[in-house]
């Protein structure tokens, strides 16, 4: 899979983070950006039907489009709401673990990628004035976290789902690659 894709969801060029980074927070943001771009490129070039396919019997709501929706919800929660203290609605239902994975007619690849990219901007603004060791504005279950922890958690979550997207993309149209 090439690093640049053109499709209804848009084209993104991917860059590896600096190898001699001397700023921890910048390095974390660069790795997150690299992974976010990979997410977008994994759905690139697919029409709504292939992007919405959920071919894994044990995970009947996991599709490429659903992964992007899920990552948008995760990013909003951890970076904007918890990290930055933003007063925003959750993008999931706490009583329904699959809510943000389910698709409706409006969930085209272009629409979910646009929402995901909008969340990136919101996240950056929410944490703009914070350092890696600063505490998040909101605790979860009574536990406080640092910006460093939040970004590392989101990097881990995104990377794990990029692996799922690798499999889903190969099953959708046979395309493989980073």
Domain ranges of the chain: 46-173
Q: Which residues contact 14 (CB under 8 A, 6 or more apart)?
A: 3, 4, 34, 37, 38, 41
- Chain-wide mean pLDDT for the chain? 91
pLDDT in tens, 116-145: 999 999 999 999 999 999 999 999 999 999
Structure confidence at residue 10 as a pLDDT band (50, 70, 90): low
Tell me the DSSP string of 76-133: IIIIIIIIT------SSBTTBTTGGG---TT--HHHHHHHHHHHHHHHHHHHTT--TT
Specify the CATH number for 46-173; select among 1.20.120.450, 3.10.620.30, 3.30.70.890, 3.40.30.10. 1.20.120.450
Give me the pLDDT at residue 76, please.
Answer: 98
Would the pTM count as exceeding 0.75?
yes
Mean pLDDT for the stretch of residues 61-74? 97
pLDDT in tens, 140-163: 999 999 999 999 999 999 999 999
């Amino acid at each position: 899979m090439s690093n640049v894709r053109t499709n209804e969801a848009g084209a993104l060029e991917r860059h590896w983070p600096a190898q001699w980074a001397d700023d921890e927070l910048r390095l974390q943001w660069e790795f997150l950006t690299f992974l976010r771009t990979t997410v977008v490129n994994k759905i690139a070039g697919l029409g709504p039907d292939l992007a919405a396919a959920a071919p894994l019997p044990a995970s009947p709501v996991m599709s490429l489009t659903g992964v992007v929706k899920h990552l948008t919800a995760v990013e909003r929660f951890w970076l904007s709401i918890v990290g930055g203290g933003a007063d925003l609605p959750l993008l999931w239902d706490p009583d329904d673990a699959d809510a943000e994975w389910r698709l409706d007619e409006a969930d085209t690849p272009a629409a979910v990628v646009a929402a995901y990219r909008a969340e990136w901007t919101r996240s950056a603004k929410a944490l703009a004035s914070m350092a890696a060791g600063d505490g998040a504005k909101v605790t979860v279950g009574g536990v406080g976290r640092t910006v460093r922890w939040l970004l590392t958690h989101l990097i881990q979550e995104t990377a794990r789902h990029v692996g799922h997207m690798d499999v889903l993309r190969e099953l959708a149209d046979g395309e493989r690659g980073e």
